[in-house]
Amino acid sequence: MLRNWQHWNRKAKLWLWIITLLGVAAALPLGGLRMHMEKSSKQVEYVFDYRDLLEVADYQANPREFVSEQLDKLKQAGITTMSLYESSLKELSLAGRLTYYSSKDEASLRGQLPPQGQNYTYVLFKGAEEQAQIGPIVRDAFTRLDIPVRDYSFEGRSGFVIETPLNDAMLKPISFDPMTLAELKQAGFHILARFSDRAQPFDSQAVDKQLAQLQQYGVTRILFDGDKVKGFSDQAELHSLDSFGELLNKYGMGIVAIENLKKPQAGLNKLAYLTDYNVTRLYSLPDNDGMALSPEKIVDRFLLAAKDRNIRMFFINATAQSSQDKAGVVNSLANLYLSLKGPDGAVHRLEEAGFKPGEAQAFKVDHPSWAKPLRGVVALGAIAIITLLISAFIPGVAIPVFIIGLIGAAGLYVLNSSLDEQALALGAGISAPTLALIWATNRVYAHTEGKLRSISAGTWTMRSNGAEGSAAAGLKWLFEGMGTGRRFGMAVRLFIMTALISLLGIPLVFGLLNNITYSLVLEQFRGVSLLHLAPIALVALYVVLYTGDSPIRRLRGLLVLPIKVWWVVAAVIIAVAGLYYLSRTGNSGEASSLELVFRNWLENTFGVRPRTKEFLLAHPLLLLGLFLSLRYRAAWVLIIAGSIGQLSMVDTFAHIHTPLQISIIRVLLGLGLGFVIGCVLIAIWLVLEGVWRKWLKAGAKKLAES
């Protein structure tokens, strides 16, 4: 009975590898769909914050002339779009439409004492045109909040008395300034409208009227101000998000997702779904960076964002600051102009890279009928490779584990399809590099210690090796009989095969995560930290427990060993290194200034920046470790370190917002450069080893002569 089970288990593992390869093959057409999608939107839009321009102008002697002059300069620099917020009394004042006063200030104008028991807001319009166009939107904004508004005049200027304190009135949102809309449109700018969710409750008719007005000025996309999208607060009571989504579709307007917010804007995912993912991703250059960064660094940021993160809109903020050195107020506009225009400016550099300036478009997503069945095959491939990993540590369980995996994946898909595909992608991402290094370890063992066994079957027996071995552990630390050339050739073959097995996980990952929500970072692949730790831990566990006697016997031997001080020191060092390693994963890690310079050099040299930890650390260490481990057992630790590069290749493709073509080039560059550096390290080792042997021979000769 046991023999029959082992026989069927071996057959099952063969079929599991076949299913894995079928899953990999099924993922390739899905990758083709994604690459086609990523090429469907190549125009980039340069957006300037009009409110910032008004605030900078407020420090000038002639604000209106300054605004007019800077609009011309912005257009010449390459700015195509102006961002316009829903108005407020402050913004309308900065634009020169009106002035506002508290009850105390209004009394001072009249040369009177402030009225007792009254704290109102007084508004005076600049002229008749402002009263005609701005007056209705101001009155409507406060009336809909049940705040009384009365007519008011002073020295021939008309206005309102708004029966609420000035500090309160300045916080109330007012509809878009129609005069500014017309001015910006006439100046040749596209307009990006910024909505907030501050106007409560949600009024579908009022929003319909706003969108109809904005459509007349050519607005095609909405950017949200604040931590919520418009309509989110009233969704539970009024289904306001659904209403707003219908209105956006009615007027053919899309939305914008801001990159790298600390917390995503609430309701954006639902609104993206309601608009059929008519979404464009935006990178916002902070106002302080626009002042402090050099034009070269700003250009590098924009170029990297467009190429590596599918950013199609760049939001540029400006600021003004007091400068003691220059004895006045300075602003960031001059630095921004240098960053944008000219042969070395962002506009020209991005156009050279294939990103022409224009109106940003949403990616076009195809949904062919064959895509869903292929994703099912990819899911089967992921379950198969996860089963193979489990079988590598627990022999004889391939059939039940695969069946349990099928049932569990099907159940999770019914409950939460997104969580199901992420769980399978994570499992496949961990399994492929781990199995690759287990295979490499087995091959090294087969050529040094003993007979090769298949993964998860049988038990290795160790040979005592006399003086060269450790009597306590029964380990052999030095392996003789294999020449340098043969070791190098074998190490190269093992390196290539290990990489190929690891690469099997890549199509499984991007095939399972083949969804526009990941490309737009509306959903993110979870479990990044686990993906960066699990293969290292599993490979280390396999090397310690499975390369020799039975795992249980080796574990018992390790548990009874006395703890030494240097073990504790080593454990602390490993823990600190692990924490630093984790801090550099995902989007939270920060690079030093020296590393940023090196990254920029790589970007400019190769066009695509390979991952530093792959080509400069992990891949070279793996090749060196494979070469040395064929002679020295202690070098197996380098194979464990080399697992970082194998898992990093898979992790590169878990960043779905990065174009697939860029990720492919990045991984291949990392492998190629890492292989070259690894060969250099082997050469250095051979030289040092030769010097060491000569020194030992010379020392032995002197000792014999004495």
DSSP for 70-129? HHHHHHHHT--EEEEEPB-HHHHHHTTSEEEEEHHHHHHHTT-PPPTT---EEEEESSHH
Using CA atoms, how far apart are residues 523 and 37, in angstroms rounded to an integer? 17
Using CA atoms, how far apart are residues 366 and 133, in angstroms rounded to an integer? 45
Hey, what CATH class is 41-86+178-359 in? Answer: alpha beta
Q: Strands, E, within 116-240: which ranges?
A: 121-125, 149-154, 157-162, 190-195, 221-224
What per-residue confidence (pLDDT) applies to 9?
A: 78
Residue boundaries of the structural domains of the chain: 2-39+366-697, 41-86+178-359, 88-174
Using CA atoms, how far apart are residues 79 and 262, in angstroms rounded to an integer? 27
Helices (H), 275-397: 287-292, 295-309, 333-340, 346-352, 371-393
Using CA atoms, how far apart are residues 363 and 39, in angstroms rounded to an integer? 8
Contacts of 363 (CB under 8 A, 6+ apart): 37, 38, 40, 41, 277, 310, 516, 519, 520
What per-residue confidence (pLDDT) applies to 472?
A: 39
Model pLDDT for residues 125-177, shown as the tens digit of each residue:
999 999 999 999 999 999 999 999 999 999 989 999 999 999 999 999 999 99
| Whether 317 contacts 286, CB under 8 Å | yes
What per-residue confidence (pLDDT) applies to 43?
A: 96
| 45 Ramachandran zone, left/alpha/beta (phi>0; psi -120 to 50) | beta
Count other Cβ atoms within 10 Å, centred on residue 139: 17
What per-residue confidence (pLDDT) applies to 457?
A: 38
pTM confidence score: 0.86
Residues of the chain with pLDDT under 50: 451-473, 586-589
Closest CA to 34 of 313, 278, 364: 364
Alpha-carbon separation of residue 272 from 410, 418, 526 (angstroms): 27, 16, 20
What per-residue confidence (pLDDT) applies to 325?
A: 76
Using CA atoms, how far apart are residues 418 and 414, in angstroms rounded to an integer? 10
Using CA atoms, how far apart are residues 202 and 208, in angstroms rounded to an integer? 11
What per-residue confidence (pLDDT) applies to 464?
A: 38
Closest CA to 425 of 374, 370, 378, 373: 378
Count other Cβ atoms within 10 Å, centred on residue 613: 17
